[in-house]
Structure 1
C-alpha cells in the first residue's frame, strides 16, 4: 500500500502520494479560485505552467503545442470577455519535455491522472472522465512519454480523487462504450450492452449493479487501472487515491452532487 499524505500550504492542504518522487499535488476546493499559475509555487517555484482547454477527449499536448496554440489564440484575440483570460489550446492532457515544467489538469468528478518517469524525471497529467477514458487518454499520455525515451518499468501513475464507483450511476450505453476499452479485440459481443454482464462478473469489477433498470454503477478509476495493467504496468506502479469527490463535500467540488461548474486542480512537476 502507498501512503497518501496531506501537505500544508498557505493554511490549506493538498494531497500527495509517496509512489511518485516528483513534486505533485491534488488540490482541493479550498484553493478555489486559485489557478495553476498560483498553485505551482507550492510544488516548485519558477516552474513553467502547462495546461489546456479541456474538452473530454484524448489529445495530450507537448509544451511546444501549448505555447504555439496559446500564442495563436492570443494573436487572434481569443479571450474570455468576463475575465479577459487567455484561452488555451484544446486537449485533455499535457506532458513535459525537460525539467522544471508543471503539467496541470482540472477535474470535478473525473479522474485526474498524474504520471511520472522515475528515471528520466519527465511527467504528464491527464483529465480522464468517462469519455476520455473510453478513448484511453492515460495510455495516450504514456505513449507520449515513451516517444521521448520512457520505459514502462520506470513509470508510476496516480489516479487522484474522483467520483467513486459505488455512487456513480450511468446508463448501460455509457457503460458499454467505456467497457469496450478494456476487452480484447477477439472478444465478440452480439450487442454492445452484452459487455456489461461480462464486466460485472470480473474480479474487482469496474461495473457494479444498480437498482434502476438500464443503469449500472461505473468505477472510472478501475477502468483506468485495468487499461494500465493491460499496457504492461504492474499494480505496484499504480496508486488510487482513497477519496471520493461526490462523498466528501467538505474537500471537493462534485458536478454530480451540485450541478455547478466548479473544479479543483492537480499538477506534477518534471525534474
Structure 2
C-alpha cells in the first residue's frame, strides 16, 4: 500500500488532492487544477469551520504561531487605518514568514509552492501541526527544524512527529551553481567548498548529483530536508517524500523553473 493517496475533493468536480497516510490530521497537497482558489476556499474541503492562517512567503527560516500572525495583522491594520487612503487600510496584510505552527485545535496552516518543498508536519499525540515552505534558501536556514522547535516549545516530542515533504522539483532535474549547493549542504555537514560537494555526492542516496555543465550540480532539496530531520532525531520512517516532481508533471503542478509564471499550488493541514 502506498503511503501517498490521491483523494477526490468534495464539491470540486472530482479534482484530486494528495494526502500522506503518516499524517492523521486533515490535510492536502493541492494541485494546479485548484488555481486560483485561495486557502480560505480550500480550507472548506479539509475542515469547513477551521481558522485559516497564511503568511507572505519570503524564502526565510522564520516560523510564526497563529497568535503572532493575528498580532502582526492587527498592528499593521491599525497602522494602515491612519493612512490618507481608506481603501489601503482595508487590505488584510500577511506577516512575513515561511512557516506556521499551530497552537490550538481547528487551526489550518497553509504554505504555497511552485518547485520549492511544501512540508506538512503533524503531532500524533498533541494534534498540533505545522505547514512550511522550504525552498533552498529556507532549507539553508533550517526552516523545518525551526518549525519543529516551535512545536516542541508547546509540548511536542520528536518521537510523535510525522513529516510529509510534498511535490517539489526533483533533484535529478534541479540544476544549481556550486555556491547554492554549498550553502544548502552546509546545513547537514561541517565541511565547506569542494570537499562538501564531493562528500555529499559520495554518500548513500546523495542529495547532490553531477551535472554536465561546468560549475553546476543537481540539488535534491527534499533529501537535504530529510537529512536535517534525521540529524535532529526524527526517525527515517516518520518522514515521507512525495513521488512527484513539479517540473516534470506539467499537467498536475505549476513549476516556476519550467514556465517562469508566478502561479502556485497550496498545501494545508488542520490541527486537531
Give the TM-score normalised by the residue count of structure 2. Answer: 0.94
Q: Within 2, Cα distance between the matches of 1:219 and 1:226?
A: 11
- Per-residue deviation at 1:75? 2.4
- Structure 1: any 5+ residue segments left out of the alignment? none
Aligned-residue CA RMSD in angstroms?
1.6
Q: Give the alignment of 1:180-259 within 5 angstroms.
A: 180-184=186-190, 188-189=191-192, 192-259=193-260
Partner of 1:144: 150
1:114 alignment partner, SS class: strand
Check if 1:50 corresponds to 2:53. yes
Check if 1:175 corresponds to 2:181. yes
Deviations 1:199-249 (A, max 9, x none): 110110000100000000000000000000001111110000010000000
- Per-residue deviation at 1:194? 2.5
Deviations 1:166-224 (A, max 9, x none): 0000000000000000014xxx54xx233101111011000010000000000000000
Structure 1 contact 2–239 (Cα < 8 Å) conserved? no
- Per-residue deviation at 1:66? 0.4
1:19 alignment partner, SS class: coil
Q: Give the alignment of 1:7-46 within 5 angstroms.
A: 7-9=7-9, 10-11=12-13, 12-46=15-49
Structure 1 contact 173–193 (Cα < 8 Å) conserved? no
- Per-residue deviation at 1:137? 0.1
Q: Within 2, Cα distance between the matches of 1:64 and 1:100?
A: 14
2:252 alignment partner, SS class: coil
Alignment length, in residue pairs? 264
1:229 alignment partner, SS class: helix
Deviations 1:68-110 (A, max 9, x none): 111222223399x89x752200000001111000000000000
Deviations 1:127-150 (A, max 9, x none): 000000000000000000000100
Q: Within 1, Cα distance between the matches of 2:91 and 2:236?
A: 40
Partner of 2:162: 156
- Indicate how the Cα distance of structure 1 residues 126 and 159 shifts in structure 2: closer, same or farther if over 3 A, else same: same
Q: Within 2, Cα distance between the matches of 1:176 and 1:194?
A: 10
1:261 alignment partner, SS class: coil
- Structure 2: any 5+ residue segments left out of the alignment? none
Of 114, 122, 125, the match for 2:131 = 125
Q: Within 2, Cα distance between the matches of 1:74 and 1:255?
A: 31
Check if 1:70 corresponds to 2:73. yes
Q: Within 2, Cα distance between the matches of 1:153 and 1:2?
A: 22
Check if 1:116 corresponds to 2:117. no
Q: Within 2, Cα distance between the matches of 1:201 and 1:213?
A: 18
Give the TM-score normalised by the residue count of structure 1. Answer: 0.94
Q: Within 2, Cα distance between the matches of 1:145 and 1:113?
A: 14
Q: Within 2, Cα distance between the matches of 1:249 and 1:70?
A: 35
